[in-house]
């Protein structure tokens, strides 16, 4: 896969920083309580009070969004150690809209622990997939069969790069 495209950062909004900090503190706190106050050597206690919170924390960290890379026909969402690939060959339109994610309902995904990612719905976009870290930087990618929302550090430059790559007609 060609990965020599233009890279955009994925800055975190204040709300993402707060939710991640508070959620991480709660999950680590539960694990500390589980380790320090076990009711004996019970497998269920250790699993639910220690392993599960730490699994949620570290599992979510693996899915954090670190940036975006545009290649000639793909969007690569940079994660922690891997990339999600979005085929842009059916791109119908691009819109910069800082209100795109407002009043959205999450149907499946992460609502603020290291990112806002997964499947969402709102009246303006209908069902959409988000790979976001700062909703105020939202760029809506309308593909033939689905809608994607990303939040690159420079939405205008991101849109211009899509045009330069010939993905927007």
In the chain, domain spans: 9-169
pTM assigned to the model: 0.91
For residues 112-121, average pLDDT:
97
DSSP string, 112-125: SSS-EEEEEEETTT
How do residues 56-82 score in pLDDT, each as one tens digit? 999 999 999 999 999 999 999 999 999
CA distance 132 to 3: 21
| pLDDT reading at 17 higher than 60 | yes
| pLDDT reading at 2 higher than 50 | no
With contact defined as beta carbons under 8 Å apart, do 30 and 46 qualify?
A: no
With contact defined as beta carbons under 8 Å apart, do 133 and 11 qualify?
A: yes
With contact defined as beta carbons under 8 Å apart, do 88 and 146 qualify?
A: no
Q: What angle do CA 147, 151, 25 make, to 5 degrees?
A: 115
The pLDDT of residue 41 is: 67
């Amino acid at each position: 896969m060609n990965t020599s495209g233009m890279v955009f950062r994925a800055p975190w909004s204040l709300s993402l920083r707060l939710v991640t900090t508070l959620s991480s503190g709660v999950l680590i706190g539960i694990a500390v309580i589980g380790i320090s106050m076990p009711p004996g050597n019970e497998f269920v206690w250790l699993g639910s009070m220690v392993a599960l919170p730490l699994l949620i924390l570290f599992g979510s960290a693996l899915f954090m969004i670190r940036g975006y890379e545009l290649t000639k026909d793909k969007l690569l969402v940079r994660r922690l150690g891997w990339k999600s690939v979005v085929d842009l060959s059916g791109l119908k339109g691009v819109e910069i809209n800082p209100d795109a994610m407002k009043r959205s309902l999450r149907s499946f995904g992460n609502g603020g622990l290291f990112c806002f990612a997964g499947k969402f719905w709102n009246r303006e976009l209908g069902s959409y997939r988000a790979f976001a870290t700062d909703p105020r930087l939202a760029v809506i990618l309308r593909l033939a069969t689905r809608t994607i929302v990303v939040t690159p550090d420079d939405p205008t430059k991101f849109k211009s790069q899509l045009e330069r790559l010939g993905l927007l007609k």
